[in-house]
Amino acid sequence: MAMRWLLAAIAAFGLTGGISTAFGQTSAEDASVTLQGAGATFPAPLYRKWIDVYTGMNPNVAIDYQAVGSGEGTKRFLANSVDFGASDSAMSDEQISQAKAGAKLIPATAGIVVLAYNLPDVKGTLKLSREVYADIFLGKIRVWNDPRIQALNPELKLPRQTIALVARLDSSGTTYATTNHLSAINPEWKTGPGIGKVIDWPGNAMMATGNEGVAARIKRSWGSIGYVEYGFAKRLGLPMVYLENRAGRFVEPAPESGQAAIAANVDLIPGNLRVFLPDPEGEGSYPIVTFTWLLLHERYEDSRKGAAVKRFVDWALTEGQGYSAEMGYIPLPDAVATFARAAVNAIQ
């Protein structure tokens, strides 16, 4: 119902058109404009692809994006030290109230968080139930040949090897998405470690910075398992766990199963575009899926920068979505992209 309301609002107010030209012509306004952005590592490969393509077509625009994590990106955005931020955990109402120039949360893409692991002698598909992978994170299952893991994978010869959890050291939206899911499926996690961008992990977790750092640490650590954005695991050739979803099916981690999760739950998206799907419904839905947001100021004192930000983000929400799938991300549903463009158009 929420998404149907969004579409009605778009039609009623005539918001399906392109970005306003109030800032003037591109050639004049974008001369030698440099935009600074910082934030989430989760979408960083896609954002860098967008930047390469867009600045190649618009050589008078320079865009620098620093993948410093969602927490640091939000901090820099609120301090007005960047022209745009990026976060996988959006922003809270309290944070939005601290934005001196206002804040617009613009969903830019979506993706899945996978559990990647390093067991080179184990060949085949590793499946973990909701109860089992929650207990691994809780530190209650400590060895790979634990009877509960082995019962789910009778065809695999699992080693008597200690499970080494790899987690994020920095303030992370990927951590937020993962712990939001764990809290939704496991009461002990919800009342214990809980939801957050920084977590006091049970046991002796190995810590790494950024999605790239977690993936690299898993790659070189035998017996490890960790949570990471799909594309990072894919690029390093890391095996990924088939996770049990809400419907009781073990789902292959892939952009297609993430897209199925969003498609099955698109009507839950509210008017402010801040939606989380901690345990999505749907037979083919992958269980850990998240949107990721660009954080834009509602008002830009420098009109040239404001115009340049608006044009770049509008391009990302239209032509830029065509690069999402090849990079391992999930293109925005058309209705979400349309409403996001309307939000960008309202920026002054």
Report the relative pairing of strands 84-87 and 289-296 from DSSP bridges.
antiparallel
Supply the DSSP symbol for 332.
Answer: P
According to the model, what pLDDT value does residue 2 have? 54
Supply the DSSP symbol for 114.
Answer: E
Rg, the chain, Cα only: 21
| Residue 276 phi, psi dihedral angles, 5° rounding | -125, 140
Task: Report d(CA 337, CA 294) in Å as an integer.
Answer: 13
Q: Which of 151, 159, 167 is nearest to 116 (CA)?
A: 167
According to the model, what pLDDT value does residue 275 have? 82
Structure tokens at 294: 């660009």
Sign of the CA dihedral running 138, 109, 38, 240: positive
Task: Report d(CA 122, CA 129) in Å as an integer.
Answer: 18
Mean pLDDT per 10-residue run, the chain (348 residues)?
Answer: 48 42 40 93 97 97 97 97 95 93 95 98 96 97 98 97 97 96 98 96 92 97 98 97 98 96 83 86 96 96 96 98 95 90 93
According to the model, what pLDDT value does residue 31 have? 64
Q: Which of 3, 92, 12 is nearest to 271 (CA)?
A: 3
| pLDDT tens sequence across 116-168 | 999 999 999 999 999 999 999 999 999 999 999 999 999 999 999 999 999 99
According to the model, what pLDDT value does residue 223 have? 97
Predicted structure pTM score:
0.88
Query: Cβ-count burial of 104 within 10 angstroms (0-12 exposed, 13-18 middle, 19+ buried)?
Result: buried
In order of start, what are the domains of the chain with their CATH numbers?
2-111+290-345 (3.40.190.10), 113-268 (3.40.190.10)
For tokens 């987690």, name the residue.
167
| pLDDT tens sequence across 303-324 | 999 999 999 999 999 999 999 9
